[in-house]
Amino acid sequence: MSANLRQIAPDAQQPNSFTFSAENKKLAQGIILKYPAGKQQSAVMPLLTLAQRQHDGWVPRAAMEHVAQMLEMPYIRVMEVATFYTMYNLAPIGKFHIQCCTTTPCWLAGSDDIMRACRDELGIDAGHTSPDGKFTLNEAECLGACVNAPMFEVTTPEWDMYFEDLTYENTRLLLQQLRRGEMPREGSQRGRNGSEPATGPTVLPDQQSAWKKMKEAS
């Protein structure tokens, strides 16, 4: 099933109406209050994010209308934001949105293998959703985790996580875990702590051993 997330979904897929749930309405009101009086339109992006999370990971037209009404701004302005930024999905999407970075540092570190692992494991190509509706696969531009390349981001209506230091093998295992409903380890898949060097910390060794001793003693 193809998934063009940058094109507004056809009428047949659009819900007739959208309103925030009671919990999200409260959250939205709290977000709006962060901005000075008269500047509530600045809340358009977090409100669209909230709407996307509530609506299974995509923003229907009715949600854009609802946000426009809440912020007292023209619907077309909300639509401009939703259609410009790629983190807003404009059509139905799989439960797990796999966004595989293929920009130069990730590409040099093997993103072709990661895309191949996704294709082999999920049976779909970029821009498609698996027949069971669980996975949507896409390529992404640099996601800011180049030090731990290659990597991909997985987005669901409930959470967003980065998975880094990927290989063909660990990518397939990771996708299998998601399919089984398990939560894979976030971050480096070869056990690096944050973005530290692959061989372990190399700077301020004295301070680090003092810190280690302090932690052991506490």
Measured from the CB of residue 6, what is the shortest distance to ligand FES in angstroms?
20
**For residues 62 and 143, which CB has a smaller minimum distance to ligand FES in the complex?**
143
Q: How many CB atoms lie within 10 A of CB 59?
A: 28
Residue 145 touching ligand FES (CB under 6 A): yes
Measured from the CB of residue 98, what is the shortest distance to ligand FES in angstroms?
14
Binding residues among 72-111 for ligand FES as defined by CB under 6 A: 101, 103, 105-106
Measured from the CB of residue 173, what is the shortest distance to ligand FES in angstroms?
20
Strands 160-164 and 187-188, how do they pair?
Answer: parallel
11: Cβ–Cβ under 8 A, 6 or more apart, which residues? none
Among 113, 142, 168, 196, binds ligand FES (CB under 6 A): 142
**Spatial CA neighbour of 86 closest among 42, 120, 49, 114:** 49
193: Cβ–Cβ under 8 A, 6 or more apart, which residues? none
Residue 128, CA atoms < 13 Å, CB-side half-sphere? 12
Binding residues among 5-34 for ligand FES as defined by CB under 6 A: none
Among 62, 73, 143, 161, binds ligand FES (CB under 6 A): 143
**In the chain, beta strands by DSSP E:** 96-101, 128-129, 135-140, 152-155, 160-164, 187-188
Measured from the CB of residue 148, what is the shortest distance to ligand FES in angstroms?
8
Q: Residues interacting with ligand FES, by CB under 6 A? A: 101, 103, 105-106, 142-146, 149, 151
